[in-house]
Amino acid sequence: MPLHSKSCLAIAISSLLLTACGDGGGSSSGSDDSSTTVSGAAVKGPLANADVSLYAIDLSAADLKGDLISTATTDATSFVSGLTLPSTYAGQQLLVEFSANDATTDINTGVAPIITTLVNVVDADSLLTGTAVYATPLTTMAVKLATAKADEGNPYSGDDNGTIDAGEFSAALDVAAGQVLSTLGFGLDTSFDLYTAVPLVTAATTDTAALTSVVGYRQAIESLAVVVNDLSENVLSGASSSDDVLAALVEDMTDGDIDGQSESGAVSVFSSVSAAAVQDSVTQDVSQMTIPGTTTTISDIESLIAAETDTTGVTTSTTELEDGSIDSTPGTAEVVSDIDGDGVADSEDAFPEDDSEWLDSDGDGTGDNADAFDDDPTETTDTDGDGVGDNSDAFPDDADEYLDSDGDGTGDNADAFDDDPTETTDTDGDGIGDNSDPYPDNSDGDADGVEDGTDNCPTVANAGQEDEDGDGIGDACDSDENAVWDETNWNESNWQ
């Protein structure tokens, strides 16, 4: 089950040309040194006057930051202003980071954001074609979880050799997004594309489907913010910031569960409270809780999204958000990651992205439900249903045959001579294969009363079966029966 585009995050959202608020991407003449203006926003959110940095990805760096490509800020509308990408980065994955400074505000609260650093991984080719990039707390968790787990095994596909390669990282982004969505997605399906989804109304949000997607995504973002804020202020009594709690949740999820324990041991941020306290906060009903810093409840997220367009400057119609045509209720978060929703935790699921499989008893890579031989690693299918696996069956499409001992192309069950590659049938049943039988349709070809299979002269009648010289050939057809052998002649009528 794909969790986002498999071709290195090939972003497939249509170009977001937000003319009204300057959120449009455009490229120059297309020369080798041309640059494209990068658009987008950070949403938790949305953040106005935040710093934006675009990096090449260095998979050996814990924070993924390679060469710094470009820096800019978000403006008062919250959209990116002044970020550029040279065309020389085509074909690469990039890291975008939004970070709060002293002037940064959440446009919905008018004060500093509770989560101050948001990241996402994007495909340069998409940015070069004008697609906007968005970073949220959910993309931040997914990117950091992918970085932590990319080199590891199930449910990830790393080889555990201590280094992350591009293939491992790309695959890890898919799995990490699924794990984040299956736990803290608040009702979003695990196939939802975190990395490319749009979390606020833009000039391209022009139909019901697009608006509905924005509402669902934004509701999950704000629900996560509610939980993070609750853990920070209430469960931990302000001992850790929301940023620290978000990072702790990522650490906690490295073992697939949110329980105060990571794959390396206790999560320090949560060490002063019980696992139950953390889990109760995560799984609480957030629908009637207010978004931090506002008076808007999570269940009324539509009104917040519509109202913020006054600040973002987007003129797209939000009538469906305001009149109740689009109305969403958040789901409940989970504490055990189960990407495919089959009821088996990812950590125990041999096929974490396939809801039809979870066991592979013989370790052959085919799940037990689809494996006709789940205790035999050499076999998986039995096409003809004869009980013999296709790999061992000389006739995998023929339920009547599975062996060909003499290799003549005729199965043993149908081969009258299964140890003789020159014969397969005995039409007359006389024990002589049709290829060698002078009378394949008659078991007594010479009509002497002796069946050909035992007749010492099957082509000439010799009922008495005389064989004077005892050579196994009946006298009736043995030309040498009267031969006299000596030094001067070879028979009585032909002198030498």
- At 82 the three-state DSSP class reads coil
Cα(105)–Cα(97) distance, integer angstroms: 16
The total number of structural domains that make up the chain: 1
- At 61 the three-state DSSP class reads coil
Q: Which amino acid is present at 363? A: G
Predicted model pTM: 0.77
Residue from 227, 267, 265, 266 nearest 247 by CA: 267
In a domain, 467, yes or no: no
pLDDT-wise least confident of 13-27, 63-77, 121-135, 253-267: 13-27
What is the reported pLDDT for 33? 65
> Positive or negative, the Cα torsion across 24, 27, 28, 34?
positive
Q: Where are the alpha helices (DSSP H) in 191-287?
A: 208-230, 242-252, 275-283
- The range of the structural domain enclosing residue 97 comes to 19-348
pLDDT-wise least confident of 10-19, 88-97, 269-278: 10-19
Residues 287-326 pLDDT 10s: 999 999 999 999 999 999 999 999 999 999 999 999 999 9
Residues 77-126 pLDDT 10s: 999 999 999 999 999 999 999 999 999 999 999 999 999 999 999 999 99
Q: Is the pLDDT of residue 10 over 50?
A: no
In a domain, 163, yes or no: yes
CA distances, 484 to each of 270, 348, 493 (Å):
111, 88, 10
Residue 262, strand partner residues: 265
CB 364 within 8 A of CB 371: yes
What is the reported pLDDT for 455? 83
In a domain, 107, yes or no: yes
Residues 449-478 pLDDT 10s: 888 778 888 888 888 888 888 888 888 888
In a domain, 485, yes or no: no
In a domain, 223, yes or no: yes
In a domain, 326, yes or no: yes
In a domain, 496, yes or no: no
In a domain, 91, yes or no: yes
Q: Is the pLDDT of residue 332 over 50?
A: yes
Cα(353)–Cα(214) distance, integer angstroms: 25
Query: Left (φ > 0), alpha (ψ -120 to 50) or beta: where does 368 sit?
Result: alpha
